[in-house]
Each structure stands twice: as C-alpha cells, then as structure tokens.
Structure 1
C-alpha cells in the first residue's frame, strides 16, 4: 500500500493516552502522499516549493488524484499550502477508500471513531504489511506518525522531524512542514477554545 494508507492504519491502533484528530491526520496524509510522489520521481522539492518532475500515473487512485492536483505552472506551490489544500477532509477520503478495498470494517465498539462510524482494520496482508513497516521503525512512517502524536516507543523529547535517521533532505523538509502545520492547527484550536470560553463568560455575567 501507499505510505498514506499505512499511516492511516497505524493511526487507528488503540492508544488511550491520545486519539488522533481527523484534521491532524489529514495534514499528515497529504504529506505522506507528497513523499510517495517524491519517491516515484513525480515531483522534486526546491526549497519549500513542490516542482512537478514530469507526467506520472500512480497505480493508487488517491495518489493519482494527488498527482493530478499539483500546481504545474510557476510559481510552484509551497509545501505548507499544499498540505492545507490537499489535506482538506483527506482522512475521510482515505477511510472511504480503505473500506471499499476491504481494509477497514465497520463494527460496533470498534477501535477508533472517525466521524459517526466506528471502524477497525481488517485482518489482511496490507494491514500486516503496515504493521511490519511500523514495527520495523521505517523512518518515513515513524516520522509522519510522530507528527500526529502516535508514540513509537521512544522517550519523550526524542524523534523530531530532524532526528529521524534515513530521511533525505526533501523528505525531511516535507515532514518538518507537516509538524509545523499540525502545530498551527493545534494553536487554532486553542485560540478558539479561549475565545469560546471568553464569550461564554460574557453571557454568564459576574
């Protein structure tokens, strides 16, 4: 499977200390797609911009959609802008695709809730492949999972985007952009929480 699909499955493992938000996961999935496109030679990274490297027709439907949405005329799109644009509702798209492929099943009391339904990974070769990639500490998957708060077993404070061995410069740039975007999304959440609390206090009165 693609890195994005492996990431989705890894993010579904039960972790009581923290569930993965759909917004965070969507940003990381967009980053995973970009990394796979880099690996396929479909794009290169020039500074913080995505430069299409030629025609590409990935076998995976969602990865193909990502390639089709690249900005092919200069000035090329910045990585962070791509993450926000491509990442909109992307976790829902991946859930739907994985269900259609039989990689996810809907069950009462499933492991993790994405939206109103509960789903869990089916026992398939693809799921086992994602698990093997995770347990083998594959650098790209570990780095992207770290961005959305999925613990890979290292002590707190280790494993930032610049600390993961085995990542080339282009991939490191993408992973760092995912981390930054997730942090920005969290700051937006916190700001809204503060604003909502302040608004409630106004109506509550002294």
Structure 2
C-alpha cells in the first residue's frame, strides 16, 4: 500500500464539505509520491531541491514510475516544480490503476451496456488499510487530505510534525493547491468579463 493510493481511496470514501477537484488531487498525489520516495530513500531534500538517490525497485508501478521520473541532473528540481510536472493528470492515472485492479467498480445499468455510473470503492484490503490509517489520525495522510478539502488541518499542526522534509512537501502541496484555485478564480472572472462584453454590458 502506498500513500497516494491511500489518499485517493480516502477522497472517495470520506464525505467532504466540497467536491475534490482533479487538479488539486493530482498535486496532492504527486506530493504523496514524493513522501513515499523520501521514505524509501530514493530521494532526499536539500532545502527545497530534490536530490535523487539510487533508484529502488518498489512494489507499486506508479511509484516506480515516479522514481524513474526524478530529475537526475543539477541543479535538480524543486519540490514545487515536481508537483506541477509530475502532477499532470496523475489523479486519472491512479483512478485507472484502482479500476484495473478491481478496487473500484462502476455499476451497470440494465438499459445501458457500458459501465457509466459513478465510481464506487470495492470492499478490499486496500480500502480497509486506508481507512485504518485515516481513523488513526496519521498526520501525513491528514495533511494531504486537508490540502484537497477532505477536512481541515491547521497549518501549525503540519509545522509541528518535526520532520523537515515532510513539512516542506506538505507546505508545498498546500501552496500549489492555493495557487491553482487562484488561477481558476482569475479565469472565472476573465470569462465573466468577456461574456459581459459580448452581451454589451
């Protein structure tokens, strides 16, 4: 089990106050991958720069892909740059992985031959593992879930984790999510202004 998979399962399994957006989730999944790679000693942090270590062979295909995607040439990559580059469409990749494994199903409607219903989590060891990690209040998972709006984790709780690398990654995820939402709001304002011009207002 990996942190990205656990995070994805939690976002599907826990009721949140607002819908989890794919863009925010992709950024958080890229952060989750980075935390697992740090834990596996595949990468370390020098400030906010990612220093790649030996490429490990991990049990998870997407996490192996993440390790292979690390920039291995100086000046290396910042945590922020990693989140935006690796995070592109990452939520869809993890969702497809869960579906291929039968962890997620889409109910069939009798009159529609294709599986077009909303995705539903199957009762599985992966789901139970994620739920156990969630109910235990594991701070890394809680911090990532807070970034995508599943629940609120005060900033000081993240800062009190004591592990500089974890704090750096979680803070970068929260900053990237905030930046993405700011971009969305500016686009909405620009689109509304453009519509008003065409309507002669």
The verdict on a shared fold, with TM-score over 0.5 as the criterion, is yes
1:190 alignment partner in structure 2:
185
Pick one of 144, 160, 163 that aligns with 2:157.
163
Shift of 1:151: 1.1
1:155 alignment partner in structure 2:
none
Shift of 1:16: 5.8
Shift of 1:94: 0.3
2:26 alignment partner in structure 1:
26
Q: Give 4+ residue runs of structure 1 displaced > 3 Å after superposition.
A: 164-167
Shift of 1:163: 1.5
Contact kept, 8 Å, 2:49 with 2:79, in 1: the verdict is yes
What aligned pairs does 1:4-43 form with structure 2 within 5 A after superposition?
Answer: 4-13=4-13, 15=15, 17-43=17-43
CA distance in 1, matches of 2:15, 2:123: 19
Contact kept, 8 Å, 2:17 with 2:149, in 1: the verdict is no
Relative to structure 1, the CA distance from residue 14 to residue 59 in structure 2 (aligned partners, 3 Å threshold; closer, same or farther) is closer
CA distance in 2, matches of 1:98, 1:50: 28
**Structure 1 gaps, min length 5:** 110-115, 153-157
2:136 alignment partner in structure 1:
136
Contact kept, 8 Å, 1:140 with 1:167, in 2: the verdict is no
What aligned pairs does 1:26-65 form with structure 2 within 5 A after superposition?
Answer: 26-65=26-65
2:120 alignment partner in structure 1:
120
Shift of 1:166: 3.7
What aligned pairs does 1:75-154 form with structure 2 within 5 A after superposition?
Answer: 75-107=75-107, 118-151=118-151
1:202 alignment partner in structure 2:
197
CA distance in 1, matches of 2:161, 2:194: 48
Contact kept, 8 Å, 2:16 with 2:151, in 1: the verdict is no
Relative to structure 1, the CA distance from residue 117 to residue 56 in structure 2 (aligned partners, 3 Å threshold; closer, same or farther) is farther
Shift of 1:17: 2.5
